[in-house]
């Protein structure tokens, strides 16, 4: 077995969700879950099929985001992994809907941070072992940091 690190290639502030599912129908069901939950959201998604022709299946409503998802899914090439890139919203807007899709087994991360994916490769194929999401913690937040966090959440409309 070989361990590989696959860096998610994306614009710095681009949000995405990385997960694992189990069936070719995942593409259609994720698409439906996103558009019914957040119709304003622009997105592209791709899914690594892991049997038969083993293709990267894809969908979305924004060509640039679909291409980004395709490129990253192919770089991962890990069994039943899916990746969704978002514009005009945040993962929190659709995360529960994504997790509720019957084919979804797990979500590895939902973030705009730089991400490295730890992938195991065997003679059979590839699988995601985990992710490195963002940077190493540097300390404990101060009272000023707490104020900034609370103000920021209110500024972007997530707290009253």
Residue 79 · residue 49 · CB < 8 Å: no
Note the pLDDT tens digit of each residue in 97-118: 999 999 999 999 999 999 999 9
What is the model's pTM?
Answer: 0.93
Strand (E) or helix (H) holding 91: helix 91-100
119 by DSSP, 3-state: which?
A: strand
Burial class, 72, CB count within 10 angstroms (exposed 0-12 / middle 13-18 / buried 19+): buried
Give the mean model confidence (pLDDT) for residues 140-151. 96
| Gap between the Cα atoms of 159 and 34, Å rounded | 23
Note the pLDDT tens digit of each residue in 7-54: 999 999 999 999 999 998 999 999 999 999 999 999 999 999 999 999
Residue 158's pLDDT is: 82
Domains by residue range for the chain, with CATH: 2-137 (3.40.1520.10)
């Amino acid at each position: 077995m070989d361990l590989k690190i696959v860096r998610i290639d994306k614009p710095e502030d681009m949000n995405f969700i990385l997960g694992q599912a189990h069936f070719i129908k995942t593409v259609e069901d994720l698409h439906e879950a996103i558009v019914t939950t957040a119709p304003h959201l622009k997105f592209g998604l791709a899914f690594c099929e892991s049997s038969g022709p083993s293709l990267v299946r894809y969908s979305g409503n924004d060509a640039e985001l679909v291409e980004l998802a395709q490129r990253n899914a192919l770089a991962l090439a890990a069994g039943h992994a899916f990746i969704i890139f978002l514009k005009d919203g945040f993962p929190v807007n659709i995360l529960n809907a994504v997790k509720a899709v019957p084919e979804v087994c797990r979500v590895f991360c939902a973030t705009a941070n730089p991400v490295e994916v730890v992938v195991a490769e065997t003679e059979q194929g590839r699988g995601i072992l985990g992710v490195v999401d963002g940077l190493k913690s540097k300390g404990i937040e101060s009272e000023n940091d707490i104020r900034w966090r609370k103000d920021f959440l209110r500024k972007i409309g997530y707290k009253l």
